[in-house]
Chains A and B, each alone.
Chain A
Amino acid sequence: MSTTLSAVSPADGVPGPGAHARERVTVLEPGRAERHYWRDLWHYRDLFAILAWRDVVVRYKQTVIGVAWAVLRPLLTMVVFTIVFGKLAGLPSDGAVPYPALVFAGMLPWFLFASILSEASASLVGNANLIAKVYFPRLIIPTASAVVALVDFAVNLVMLFAIMAWYGVVPSWQIALLPAFVALAVLASLGPALLLTALNIKYRDFRYIVPFIVQFGLYVSPVGFSSAVVPEAWRFWYSLNPMVGVIDGFRWCLLGGESRLYLPGFALSLGVTALLLWLGIAYFRRTERSFADVV
């Protein structure tokens, strides 16, 4: 059944809403690179904020102990690593740093990396209906999901400070650089995360690869031990893993200078991070226009 409607005014001569002084002109063509990509992304910042907020809110709805999950996981991992690497294997700590603090300072960036990787790579498939029905820069979805990881990270950071206070570790001036290292950790995570996100939407095999990377990487990266225990000859090439530089940086800036930064390795890690970030964004941008067709 339809209904009587007010008469529709004729098309001609009706001005558009608002002034069209600076109207956005969009050209859609096959293979056309988005000229205003970053401006467009900025235009959609509200959507980014609200999607990030949604992911955070939904994460703790209908959970009994809520944020406590973010506390329990690293705490238990720290206990296990301290016992296995510190006590059983008897690996040395950095200077006078208590082993639990060393482990926890390494776990902070590692868990950030691991959650960004897993949240982001699943995010596009999880939001398939959005992708199929609305346009927005697709980069928003995986990056918004990274914000959830940052919330957990903040909780963990508070725990680290509590542990440091317990063991009487006093941070020095380096702690002022912490925000820069957090940003570095996020960038180092986003590169591989974007790459895997874009691949995962096309080839769902990557759904199985991500947990593998996360599990494997935990032992390959210097989370449970100091990177100083790596033989000197290997130390430089060990830094090909970007998380080595990030974790070393975190220990250096949090543990009051007891952990020394191995500069050549750190520079290599920075280079790999930049390369992966560029690769991730480039591949994501190249494939994002076809996401709606393959999701």
Chain B
Amino acid sequence: MSDIVIRAEGLGKKYLIGHQAGREPYTALRDVLARGARGLVRSAADMLRGRSLVAGDEVEEFWALKDVSFEVKRGEVVGIIGRNGAGKSTLLKILSRITEPSAGRVTIKGRVASLLEVGTGFHPELSGRENIYLNGAILGMTRAEIRKRFDEIVAFAEVERFLDTPVKRYSSGMYVRLAFAVAAHLEPEILLVDEVLAVGDAEFQKKCLGKMGDVAGQGRTVMLVSHNMNAVERLCHSAILLRLGKGARARGGVRDAITAYLSGSASPDASDRWCNTGREFQNQYFVPNWCKITNSDPHRNPGEPFSNCYPMTFSVAGELYSSDPAFNLGIAVYNEIGSLMFWSFFRDTLRTGQSECSKGGDCVFHVHLPARWLNEGAYTVELIGGLHYREWLWAPGGRNPTVRFEILGGLSDSPYWDGRRPGNLAPVLTWSLERPSAKPA
């Protein structure tokens, strides 16, 4: 049997979006009336032609998804990855028939169930029992199927005692558990899942991932949209990478798709090096020429995030003019929400540096940041420094030379932790296990 259950060819989805034309700050009543009349005429004309109304003065076509083609085999688990707005959810909506494609075609064999959010259609006034039937029917189960699996669902959700309570009185945890329990007991041939793994606490996500693994293990076809690269890598056999509006389709190994995604995901202002554009930061002590941060990972391609299992080096090069013993230079490291992680100065350790510093000329300062010490996330390194107790040359939080880097993955050797940990740091410390073998005499 040719075992392709989903085949998409040149799929595209177009939306019309409106723009507000530039508005002058002061308007005469006459202008407002004229504009209102124009708008009214236009929307009346749209309505007569049966078009939908678009707010704004100018209308533009926008392709949320363009020229996407792929095939999915029976029993395959496919991840759909891409940045926000790349069309992942649009693709799932087309596949689950919620919306119609504007171009291309899809052929689907088998019963499809989509899980675009947990608890779709839950009614707050109805009891848990009633909502199980309601939600199950909405997700495409027949009443007989729900009745058959009812006890399983209740047990999975752990809500036996509250089965006849309206769900509006449920705690949010119970609500989500019940909602997921219904969804988890769907038995379609093709399951489309969107980001459900992103909601709930760690425990709930674990349960979701476990259930997803089960579903995949039973040979069902699953398409999964997620930003959680760990989940994608663990669960999926292959992945589709969507790019903004272009619909590129890096279809292939999960690893390749994830690598392609990550290498393209660095935001344009996140640069791991800084260069002095000319005559900036002039002073009579030290003028920095460039700074950079590097990672000793031999497999890393430029632009990719750092793996946490390799140490990093921050370097600043420049010209040293004076041999003032009070001159000090260091770094301030901030996390992605801008809170200060630490300061570090070269005078901290470089006692001998005093003599090195007494000579002027070109020099490069290096500082090593150990592996497995910071947490996963994006960081900013700011060059700070000045004359100790006298004046700042580069006061912290000023417009100083900065570089940015991101840590992703490689947090520890343990299989228990491979994502971001709670807390600011994620140091791997040395643990030992002692077994007092004999009682002391």
Chain A residues with a Cβ under 8 A of chain B:
1-6, 8-12, 14-18, 20, 23-31, 46-47, 49-51, 54, 57-58, 61-62, 127, 129-136, 202-203, 289-290, 292-294
Contacts and interface: CB of A to CB of B under 8 A. Distances in A.
Contacts of A129: 120-121
A238 B73 CA distance: 62
A50 B134 contact: yes
A52 to B, nearest CB: 11
A141 to B, nearest CB: 11
Interface string B80-107: 0000000000000111111111111111
A135 B134 CA distance: 15
B320 interface: no
A2 B205 contact: yes
A57 B130 contact: yes
Nearest to A3: B206
B108 A16 contact: no
Given A5-B234, A46-B141, A135-B98, 7 more contacts: A6-B217, A20-B189, A47-B137, A130-B138, A136-B140, A202-B52, A290-B99
Interface residues of B, number: 76
A49 B134 CA distance: 10
Given A23-B110, A27-B107, A134-B139, A8 B120 contact: no
B332 interface: no
B219 interface: yes
Contacts of B210: 3, 5
B213 A8 contact: yes
B202 A1 contact: yes
Nearest to B94: A28
Interface stretch (B24-32, B111-119, B268-276, B348-356): B111-119
A11 B219 CA distance: 7
A14 B75 contact: yes
Contact of A133 (B73, B120, B134): B120
A136 B137 CA distance: 10
B234 A26 contact: no
Interface of A is mostly: loop
Interface stretch (B280-288, B378-386, B410-418): B410-418
A263 to B, nearest CB: 38
Contacts of B237: 8, 10-11
Contacts of A9: 216-217, 219
Interface string B127-163: 0001001100111111100000000000000000000
A18 B108 CA distance: 17
Nearest to A294: B52
B125 A62 contact: yes
Contact of A24 (B110, B137, B138): B110
A228 B309 CA distance: 92
A22 to B, nearest CB: 11
Contacts of A27: 105-108
A18 B419 CA distance: 37
A17 B219 contact: yes
A61 B169 CA distance: 15
Given A1-B206, A134-B121, A18 B134 contact: no
Interface string B207-228: 0011001101111110000001
B98 A133 contact: yes
A2 B206 contact: yes
A54 B132 CA distance: 12
18 contacts: A2-B205, A2-B228, A2-B231, A8-B217, A11-B237, A14-B74, A16-B110, A16-B219, A20-B109, A25-B108, A28-B105, A49-B137, A51-B137, A58-B125, A62-B125, A134-B116, A136-B140, A290-B100
A54 to B, nearest CB: 6
A8 B234 contact: yes
B280 to A, nearest CB: 43
B102 A30 contact: yes
A97 B306 CA distance: 89
Given A50-B137, A134-B120, A134-B138, A8 B109 contact: no
A147 to B, nearest CB: 15
Given A16-B75, A16-B219, A46 B143 contact: yes
Given A8-B213, A9-B217, A202-B52, A47 B138 contact: yes
B419 A29 contact: no
Contact of B110 (A20, A30, A49, A62): A20
B109 A135 contact: no
Contacts of B116: 133-134
Given A2-B205, A24-B111, A135-B97, A30 B73 contact: no
B77 interface: yes
Interface string B193-210: 000000000100110011
A223 to B, nearest CB: 31
Nearest to A286: B50
A29 to B, nearest CB: 4
Given A1-B417, A17-B187, A58 B123 contact: yes
Contact of A57 (B75, B98, B111, B126): B126
Nearest to B220: A17
A230 B299 CA distance: 90
B395 interface: no
B106 A28 contact: yes
A132 B142 contact: no
Contacts of A6: 213-214, 217
B364 interface: no
A26 B74 contact: no
A26 to B, nearest CB: 5
Contacts of B34: none
A104 B95 CA distance: 50
B45 interface: no
B76 interface: yes
A6 B212 CA distance: 10
B47 interface: yes
Nearest to B102: A30
A30 B418 contact: no
